[in-house]
Structure 1
Amino acid sequence: MKKTLPILLSSLVLSTSLFANDNLAKGLNVVITSKDAQTQMMGMVLSMMTLKQKKEVNMTLCSDAGDLAVKGIESPILKPQDKSPKMMLQALIKQGAKVEVCPLYLPNTSKDESVLLEGISVAKPAEVAKKLLDKDYQNLSY
């Protein structure tokens, strides 16, 4: 029994360090469709935390969340950051996040690419699908 305990403890330490390194994801794929500002903000906050960990963020805005990508459409200021989801979105772009709108958003809101904020483009479904299926990325949907 005395010999078994150190062996078990050693195995536990080694397996714990292996699991700790198991999540070496390249980054995060975030799909936001919600109109709710708090829900949008949570996606923005987690994306910012991901960038701060030197990981990539790929964000696709669809449906009502596509409004965040449009010049002149404001979003509410939320506590505790005293920022809006749109302000956080612009900060994410400056920090290197790739942000796109769903290809259905513009034609179904009678808008074109000229209304999009700088740094935001229209997503290509095949590329989004490829990223979502890439096991090197974690996927979040709001």
Structure 2
Amino acid sequence: MKVMRISCWASAIAATTLILSPLAMADEHANDDDAYAERALVILTSDSLQTQGMAMILANAMREQGTTPHILLCDAAGELAIDGYESETELGPRGVKPEGLMQMMMGEGAGVDVCAIFLPNSEYGEDDLRDGVGVATPGAMAEMMRDPAIPVFSF
């Protein structure tokens, strides 16, 4: 019987340790600003207004939490980078447009580029891009994608 009691206590201690260890780690990281990425890469290709909007809303939320987003616009999403382009409708509940959120984030330090193949495969040239929007180079984008400190999000 004594062996059973020790075994039960050992099991109880082990179970408590397994339960409390993740909580202690979560609490440790909750106050540790270094636990979050300083930069993030957001790759947006969708032509869906809601997907574009949500990508910008999430990138902006990351920015508000201290992460500097870099937004790469490819395929149909490249239209957001074109000077004068406006989405057809505003998104509820706040009446925002993806390009408006993008421009606001650019003013707050976010980088925005179009994919290297967007302009050569569209009717636009570099002069058609909004102020501050660049043209990505494959090498620079690959470097960001390979950096384990930079999370990559794709929409």
TM-score (norm 1): 0.88
The answer to whether 1:112 aligns with 2:128 is: no
- Of residues 56, 60, 84 in structure 2, which corresponds to 1:44? 56
Aligned-residue offset at 1:135? 0.9
- Of residues 89, 94, 108 in structure 1, which corresponds to 2:102? 89
Query: Which residue does the alignment assign to 2:5?
Result: none
Query: Which residue does the alignment assign to 1:71?
Result: 83
SS of 2:151's partner is strand
Q: Relative to 1, partners in 2 of residues 1:10 and 1:52: Cα closer, same or farther, differing over 3 Å?
A: same
Aligned-residue offset at 1:72? 1.8
Question: Could you tell me how far apart the structure 2 residues matched to 1:11 and 1:78 are?
Answer: 42
Aligned-residue offset at 1:74? 1.1
Aligned-residue offset at 1:71? 1.1
> What is the count of residue pairs matched by the alignment?
142
Aligned-residue offset at 1:134? 1.0
Aligned-residue offset at 1:77? 1.0
Structure showing greater Rg:
2
Q: Relative to 1, partners in 2 of residues 1:10 and 1:89: Cα closer, same or farther, differing over 3 Å?
A: closer
Question: Could you tell me how far apart the structure 1 residues matched to 2:43 and 2:139 are?
Answer: 15
Amino acid at match of 1:127: A
Q: Relative to 1, partners in 2 of residues 1:10 and 1:30: Cα closer, same or farther, differing over 3 Å?
A: closer
RMSD, aligned α-carbons: 2.4
SS of 1:43's partner is helix
Aligned-residue offset at 1:19? 5.9
Aligned-residue offset at 1:11? 4.1
Aligned-residue offset at 1:12? 4.9
Q: Which runs of 5+ in 1 are unaligned?
A: none
Amino acid at match of 1:43: A
1:65-121 CA-to-partner distances (Å, cap 9, x unmatched) read 000000122112111120111111111111111000001111111321111101100
TM-score (norm 2): 0.81
Aligned-residue offset at 1:18? 5.0
SS of 1:25's partner is coil
- Of residues 13, 17, 36 in structure 2, which corresponds to 1:4? 13
Question: Could you tell me how far apart the structure 1 residues matched to 2:23 and 2:42 are?
Answer: 33
